[in-house]
């Protein structure tokens, strides 16, 4: 079982952008699935149920991919 959170990410414009963000976020401990959608600028992150999501790690991973996390939706 998992819990999800949706984030707004600026700068994604194509499939390559989606894959880059997804790969960085997938490496965050506790993350079980990532769905990045460039047209909407949304990234849905699933993480292990009962585990607190470290939003700073999510922000850092998005930054590492070269994009900007603007907030949680």
Distance of alpha carbon 28 from alpha carbon 39, whole angstroms:
24
Distance of alpha carbon 20 from alpha carbon 72, whole angstroms:
19
CATH number of 2-72: 3.30.70.100
Helix, coil or strand: residue 32? strand
Q: In what order do the strands lie in the sheet with 2-10?
A: 31-37, 42-48, 2-10, 68-72
Distance of alpha carbon 11 from alpha carbon 48, whole angstroms:
27
Residue-wise pLDDT for 10-59, tens only, equals: 999 999 999 999 999 999 999 999 999 999 999 999 998 777 789 999 99
Residue 72 has pLDDT above 90, yes or no: yes
pTM (global) more than 0.95: no
Q: Domain extents for the chain?
A: 2-72
């Amino acid at each position: 079982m998992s819990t999800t959170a949706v984030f707004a990410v600026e700068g994604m414009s194509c499939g390559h952008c989606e894959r880059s963000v997804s790969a960085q976020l997938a490496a965050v401990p506790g993350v079980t699935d990532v769905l990045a959608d460039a047209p909407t600028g949304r990234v849905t992150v699933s993480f292990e149920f009962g585990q607190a999501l470290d939003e700073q790690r999510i922000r850092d991973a998005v930054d590492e991919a070269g994009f900007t996390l603007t907030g949680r939706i």
